[in-house]
Amino acid sequence: MKIHSRFSAPALLLLLAAGAAFAQPVYRHLDKNGKVTFSDQPPAADAQAAAPRGGAAGGAGPGLPYELRQVAQRYPVMIYTGDECGPCGAGRSLLVTRGIPFEERTVKSNADIETLQRLSGQSSLPLLSIGSQQLKGFSDAEWSQYLDAAGYPKSAQLPAGYRNPPAQPLVAIQAAPAAPARPVAAPAPAPAPAPPAANGPTPSNPAGIKF
């Protein structure tokens, strides 16, 4: 299958290999005063252990090995899939079998399809992105070629228990806003009690007659 790229395959390999040549390990040193410094030299045997610079990649489970994490940060992999799509399943299986950390976006709704067309210029699936490179349609040889060029290992190196993030819709589903609550009417004030009847004679009742 023809490679959809502005670069020839050898040129792409050289470009990606040149970037990988600068990916030297960087060690994080923490002294007794809490000061952090970075160096390309590993800490001494009696120094406080410190992890290499860079956080764990996304997804549940333990973090990625350092070299794999560096590749995944430079060339993140994302696959766009749909329901009842045989090539989508084959592409996903290739990534899983090879141990590629990736994210998955599902295309189901009209909004998903419109967004996919804006991203790739077409609505066919699967679509694989490796960094800024897009591969339209599944081809084992083509996908493997680009993963090799990006520096991903040919065999799985993921730690036991690593899980890629669960698939998410391409367009996030927004919950409908809740209807505003109707204001609760304040209870009507109770009528004031009538004043007690006066006992005894009054100017209007000089005889003090009671009924």
CATH T-level assignment (fold) for domain 9-23+64-169: Glutaredoxin (3.40.30)
Which residue do the tokens 């599902």 mark?
106
Task: Supply the DSSP symbol for 76.
Answer: -
- Helix %, strand %, coil % for the chain, to 5? 25, 15, 60
For residues 139 and 14, what is the distance between their CA atoms, to the nearest angstrom? 22
Domain residue ranges in the chain? 9-23+64-169
For residues 130 and 78, what is the distance between their CA atoms, to the nearest angstrom? 7
Whole-angstrom Cα Rg for the chain? 35
Per-residue pLDDT tens, the chain, 211 aa: give them.
333 444 444 444 444 444 433 344 444 555 555 554 555 555 554 444 333 333 333 443 458 899 999 999 999 999 999 999 999 999 999 999 999 999 999 999 999 999 999 999 988 999 999 999 999 999 999 999 999 999 999 999 999 889 999 999 999 865 555 566 666 666 667 666 665 555 566 666 665 555 4
- Residue pair 105/167 in contact (Cβ under 8 Å)? The answer is yes
